[in-house]
Amino acid sequence: MGLRVFIPDYNVSVAELVIPGSDLSQHLSTAGHEASGTGSMKFLMNGCLLLATADGATVEIMEEVGADNMFLFGAKVDEVPALREKGASVKVPLQFARVVRMVRDGHFGFKDYFKPLCDTLEDGKDFYLLGDDFASYLEAQAAVDRAFVDPEKWTRMSILSTAGSGKFSSDRTIEEYAKHTWGIEPCKCPF
């Protein structure tokens, strides 16, 4: 896969530049804690593929574009409560423990800033199930890498994703809100 970046202070102005030029957008919210629904749709409409948990808008997107045109990972929303209940008894992958140790040791910078997060994860209080989802995320990322080096497959997935994104247009959304939520009818243009 090409260049991978994390954009700090992401906002609408930055999105206007980033979204049209992106091949893959990763939406990493824990199922049941959706944080990126409309962002996912914007990326999708611009030909970008999604790597995401099956949550909220991602489920709606999957219904329109098909799971074969996305890279899904992680626990499903109905699995989250049981996984949280298990808590520290959930065995986290060795790779995840290694990453947490690297963060703790300051390998990526901001050692002091991430100390509370590392403490929480190592104490078995992984509320967002990062350790549980990690192996699944790595598998999804490997699938992304395999698809990206197959230009025909990647292009087909991108086209089908964009073609299936029509349901998420602002025109349809506003018309639906007007009719079902606000109870108003569109007015005819006077000329």
Cβ burial 39-50 (10 Å sphere, 16+ → b, else e): bbbbbbbbbbbb
Domain boundaries, the chain: 1-76+133-166
Return the higher-pLDDT residue of 170 and 72: 72
Q: Is residue 3 predicted with pLDDT exceeding 70?
A: no
Q: What is the mean pLDDT of the chain?
A: 88
Q: Is residue 120 predicted with pLDDT exceeding 80?
A: yes
Domain 1-76+133-166 has CATH 1.10.287.110: no
For residues 134 and 39, is the Cβ–Cβ distance under 8 A?
no
What pLDDT score was predicted for residue 90? 62
Q: What is the reported pTM? A: 0.82
What tens digit of pLDDT does each residue of 123-154 get? 878 888 999 899 999 999 999 999 999 999 99
Amino acid at 62: M
Please, where are the H alpha helices in 50-189?
57-65, 80-86, 94-104, 111-122, 130-148, 151-163, 170-176
What tens digit of pLDDT does each residue of 16-45 get? 898 888 999 988 888 887 666 778 888 889
